[in-house]
Structure 1
Amino acid sequence: MNDRKIGVWLIGALGSISTTVMLGALALRKNLIGPTGMVTATEPFSRLGLAPVEIMEFGGCDVRRESLRDAARQIARETGCIDPAILNQIEADLALIDRDISPGTSRNCGEAIGRLAGEADPRNRPLREEIARVIGLLNDFKAAKQVQEVVVVNLASTEPPLEFQECHEDLPAFEDCLDRNENEAVRASTIYAYAAIQAGYPYINFTPSSGALFPAMVRLAEARRVPVMGNDGKTGETLVKSALAPMFMCRNLEVLSWEGFNILGNMDGRVLAHPENKESKILSKDGVLSKILGYSPHSEVHINYVPSLCDQKTAWDFIHFRGFLGAKMSLQFVWQGYDSFLAAPLILDLARLAEFAKRRGEAGLMPHLASYFKDPLAGNEHRLYEQFRMLQDYGTRAESAVLRSELR
């Protein structure tokens, strides 16, 4: 068994997804659950010598101040999906992780996230000073946990879209913006991404927040030899869309309309109830169809906050299409799932694959991870089966390289 020990530093560490990630990893460590939902537990990835989940160390930051143990209890209570015996056996471990969760920043993130942070969040630090603080947190975490690598994953609440400027296209120009302390050019996600990459740590943006991996930031990752990828984890409705939409292409059926209605609770839903935050999510979810079909049917994504649903998300999609002789037909599907339980194993996958990429000397965007994202930054492939083939091909090539190195 590979004994490579890595740290996973989660932005939004007290959120539902982060809590479920840590809860699940600890349960795996104690052999209380299996790796269902983890693609890296299957072949060929299981033969690559990926960093074991069982010895991962966790830390991170959050703008809220509460107990990770309380967050885990809340998820267990609201979903009813966690065996109380499992929670009892890992509560002490969750309490230990609390020590490694630091105060986050809500800089320039809008009213919804600002309210979560309260007045204690120092949003007026100079940008360079705030970046240095985050780099210090990351380096201290690595040293304290004695890990060989740290992977930074953004699981924070969705920010409003960042208004792109020329500086976001050019790295020297963006560095100048930071030097001039131009606050409007960044959001909190920008600070975290820049700090992680500058410190040399792989970075994953699992959120729709556009402030994280704009072109200048990708150039920085290439220059620093750091693998990065995003945006916006694909776990539910869009996952089904990317699997289903190619079917209409395969049968030369014309999609006339595709309406999607999403209702969800938890903190994600609460933040997305604000129009400026919802805009980021809709931009990410709504672009998939035209990229797969090659044309733009009438399509609209609706997202509504229903507090009583807690972590459960329901998506109802109505597809109106035209076939032979102009016959109009329809298809409907309903997806009901727990967002955090769908996302958590993917985060463990991404942490392992990002560390593996860094170990192999890869840098910049990781196109083979496209199947994990609604709006993948590398390439134009959005069909799920083709995206998964890219991941499988990468795994097969990497396995061959591992075998060759073992034979030397």
Structure 2
Amino acid sequence: MKQEIQPAKGRLGILLVGLGGAVSSTAVVGTLAVRKGLAKPIGSITQLATIRLGKRNENRFPKIKDVVPLADLNDLVFGGWDIFEDDVYAAAQHAEVLVQKDLDGVKEELQAIKPMKAAFDQNWVKRLHGTHVKQAATRWEMAEQIRQDIRDFKAANNCDRVVVIWAASTEIYIPLCDEHQSLAAFEKAMKENNTEKIAPSMCYAYAAIAEGAPYIMGAPNLCVDMPAMWEFAAQKNVPICGKDFKTGQTMLKTVLAPMLKTRMLGLDGWFSTNILGNRDGEVLDDPDSFKTKEVSKLSVIDTILQPELYPELYGSIYHKVRINYYPPRKDNKEGWDNIDLVGWMGYPMQLKVDFLCRDSILAAPLVLDLVLFADLAQRANMSGIQSWLSFYFKSPMHDFDHIPEHDLFIQYTKLKNTLRKMIGEETIDYLD
């Protein structure tokens, strides 16, 4: 059945946490350049992908953006928060992802985008030293300041709607605690200023949901992935999704692991290492922040291969992940994988992958797609965890009653089938 979707009228505010970071600045520059006709939105499903409608012989393959009521790029207004006060033009220069001519094509627009002071606690990101930060007596007050920022931004920029997306650094690892189990317990911890259990990212999530804005978690932080936030999102009828943008090495794992499983090939071990020189690499050089990322990256293979069902093939896999900070590479990440697989009669084979990618170039189109899809979900009255957006995340959010789907192609089918249902088309099972 076709869903009642409110039209995408008016301006849509995109508020990025970590506005001056490499991912955010690259996403903003690229989107502004695309809408001026200076660049192509390569990597963006919302802008380039087609969607099959009806039977195969009907030959209907329109672009998604032509049949799904997404916000127009010309209606987007960018803002956000950062721990440094540079405008987006200066921040993008510092990030050294894009060449000067690409920045200069939208220079005036970038210089006009200045970050609001960030909610920051160095205990949660030990390698960063913020200078453009909020002062708040409690986590509750911190969230209230963010709520005011959202209201002020909407008013100043005449926005009808807002989406908030975390594209900032990975916080230190924290397991699910009692304070995260219910909204009442969470709010109590905020008001009591329990800084060991309430992270700054959680203040952004709480503030966004409180203001009726969809919230997207692009890092592996616990943040919105907890019963308290699920309860709050349901109460406020707001979409949430996450976590941890799926870009390089893990994207390959969600392609290669299904290949092994569908062919019933065995696996002895999978060793993954990365070298990365941007701010993200520096943050992940801290063991506590790396632990958060490691949990996210390690979850993929077991979920796809289901060792409990195939113990003879996947019951004793040795899986190791490493991330090494290497400043000369800057944003140009290299992900290297050694995969020891097993074939017919137990004979060993190896697969080696060396992915020389550009971290923010891969992440930027994900940011654009996610904010447009989250806004769509809000207008379609789809609240809570948006599992149909799992395609974009290393560690897809799910409640305790569901198992996450990691297979990239199943995720993509689910995404497109959700869009088909939203516009009143039949879902596709590929039996025709």
1:117 partner SS: coil
Match of 1:58 in 2: 78
Deviation track 1:265-298 (CA, whole Å, cap 9, x = no partner) reads 1100011111111111111001100110112510
1:258 partner SS: strand
* TM-score normalised according to structure 2 size: 0.87
How far residue 183 of structure 1 moved from its aligned partner, in angstroms, is: 2.1
Partner amino acid, structure 2, of 1:398: M
Deviation track 1:17-58 (CA, whole Å, cap 9, x = no partner) reads 000011011101211112211111223421112001232100
Match of 1:94 in 2: 110
1:318 to 328, 332, 338: 338
How far residue 215 of structure 1 moved from its aligned partner, in angstroms, is: 1.7
Match of 1:183 in 2: 195
Deviation track 1:100-157 (CA, whole Å, cap 9, x = no partner) reads x1110222643525x4214x64555222211111000001111111111100000111
2:220 partner SS: coil
Gaps of 5+ in 1: 403-408
CA distance in 2, matches of 1:370, 1:17: 19
1:9 partner SS: strand
Q: Percent identity?
A: 34
Match of 2:329 in 1: 309
2:20 to 14, 20, 26: 14
RMSD over aligned Cα atoms: 1.8
CA distance in 2, matches of 1:226, 1:276: 31
1:399 to 397, 400, 423: 423
Partner amino acid, structure 2, of 1:66: D
Contact 2:89 2:103 in 1 (8 A): no
1:385 to 409, 424, 431: 409
Contact 1:160 1:276 in 2 (8 A): yes
CA distance in 1, matches of 2:78, 2:12: 9
1:43 aligns with 2:50: yes
Partner amino acid, structure 1, of 2:112: L
Gaps of 5+ in 2: 1-6, 52-63, 308-314, 427-432
Contact 2:389 2:415 in 1 (8 A): yes
Match of 1:264 in 2: 276
Partner amino acid, structure 2, of 1:43: T
Match of 2:121 in 1: 107
How far residue 70 of structure 1 moved from its aligned partner, in angstroms, is: 1.5
1:116 to 116, 129, 145: 129
CA distance in 2, matches of 1:35, 1:124: 39
1:373 aligns with 2:393: yes
Contact 1:318 1:330 in 2 (8 A): yes
2:178 to 166, 169, 172: 166
Contact 2:214 2:375 in 1 (8 A): yes
2:320 partner SS: strand
CA distance in 2, matches of 1:301, 1:291: 16
CA distance in 1, matches of 2:102, 2:406: 37
Deviation track 1:195-222 (CA, whole Å, cap 9, x = no partner) reads 1001110000001111333221111111
Partner amino acid, structure 2, of 1:139: R
2:262 to 246, 250, 263: 250
More moved, 390-399 vs 35-44? 35-44
Contact 2:125 2:172 in 1 (8 A): no
CA distance in 2, matches of 1:323, 1:366: 38
Partner amino acid, structure 2, of 1:10: L
1:37 partner SS: coil
How far residue 2 of structure 1 moved from its aligned partner, in angstroms, is: 6.2
CA distance in 1, matches of 2:135, 2:174: 17
Aligned residues: 394
More moved, 243-252 vs 2-11? 2-11
Q: Which structure carries more helix by proportion?
A: 1
CA distance in 2, matches of 1:401, 1:330: 43
1:71 aligns with 2:91: yes
Match of 1:335 in 2: 355
More moved, 387-396 vs 40-49? 40-49
Matches within 5 A, 1:265-280: 265-280=277-292
How far residue 172 of structure 1 moved from its aligned partner, in angstroms, is: 1.7
Contact 2:125 2:171 in 1 (8 A): no
More moved, 393-402 vs 312-321? 393-402
Partner amino acid, structure 2, of 1:96: A
1:14 partner SS: coil
Q: 1:29 to 1:215 in 2, by over 3 A?
A: same
